[in-house]
Amino acid sequence: MWTLSGFADEISPDPGDQTTLLRELGMSWLEFRSAWGTNVLDLDADRLGEVKRTLDANDIGVSSIGSPIGKIFVDEDFDAHLVRSRHAVDLAHRFGARYIRVFSFFVRPGTDPDAQRDEVLRRMRALADLAERGDVILLHENEKEIYGDVPRRCVDLVESVGSPNLRAAWDAANFVQVGVRPFSDGYAGLRPHLEYVQIKDARLDDGEVVAAGLGDGELVETVRALRADGFDGFFSLEPHLSQAHSLGGFSGPDLFTEAWKAFTGILTAEGIGFR
């Protein structure tokens, strides 16, 4: 039985609407990125309490804090960002989440990402130290325009930091959008570090995000390989079927349901149970 989660803020800004649809789809987990249009790290105590009560009332767990940590330029102030990262750890504890999603810093246009390696590793090591002290696991998501955008740099990042509290999240659509065939070009190298899978697909020719299995993200090949080697982590729906921007995306309830049907259709065809 594979466990499904999802960025429920793609359903609606309202946590009540989010949890209603998740329950209708038989899902018991979400990835907490935002509520009422405000990022999880910027919600005040009252709003956080309201979200916690809503999740508890609906028996919905938090698979990961979908933070924007690392979504600043590599030459921007890091000390303030590290304070923000400590807040992310506190939120993970509050919501019972083992994981926090992070990124490896935007690189200025026209700059060689490899030239930023030392500074990126310094920052990621500091984040990993924080995770080790807080007993949480950071999930590095491959993202466009950051250091860790292609498999080679993703592997280098995780291996060079060398912390058990820094692992890899897999986003096939993001790989496609930087010209990578995810399974063919990246799976073998990243699999030893892979902890979490985000379900999003895209087309190579124009980069458009599409439902799982309709693009060039090689999701069927990836699913088969993960089943064969016993992967048992979360699969988190991040459809981006209506809107996409640097801090997230939106789908709405109908398109989120479409994304759920597309991925669970693949699982059903492959004889894989899910919950």
Residue 240's pLDDT band (cuts 50, 70, 90): confident
Residue 247's pLDDT band (cuts 50, 70, 90): low
Residue 242's pLDDT band (cuts 50, 70, 90): confident
Query: Phi, psi at residue 247, to the nearest 5°?
Result: -110, 5
Helix, strand, or coil here: 185?
helix
Sequence letter at residue 221: E
Q: pLDDT digit string (tens) for 22-32? A: 999 999 999 99
**Contact (Cβ atoms closer than 8 angstroms) between residue 241 and residue 2:** no
Check residue 249 and give its pLDDT.
73
Question: How many CA atoms does the CB half-sphere of 121 hold within 13 Å?
Answer: 16
Cα angle, residue 132 at apex, residues 146 and 157 outer, rounded to 5°: 30
Q: How far is CA 252 from CA 7, 9, 12, 31, 261, in A?
A: 11, 9, 6, 16, 14
DSSP 192: G
Q: Kindly report the pTM of this predicted structure.
A: 0.96
Which element (helix H / strand E) includes 93?
A: helix 79-94
**Contact (Cβ atoms closer than 8 angstroms) between residue 210 and residue 201:** yes
Q: Domain segments of the chain: what residues?
A: 3-269
Residue 207's pLDDT band (cuts 50, 70, 90): very high
- CATH homologous superfamily of domain 3-269? Divalent-metal-dependent TIM barrel enzymes (3.20.20.150)
Tokens of 192: 């030893």
Comparing CA positions, the residue from 172, 215, 165, 217 lying closest to residue 193 is 165
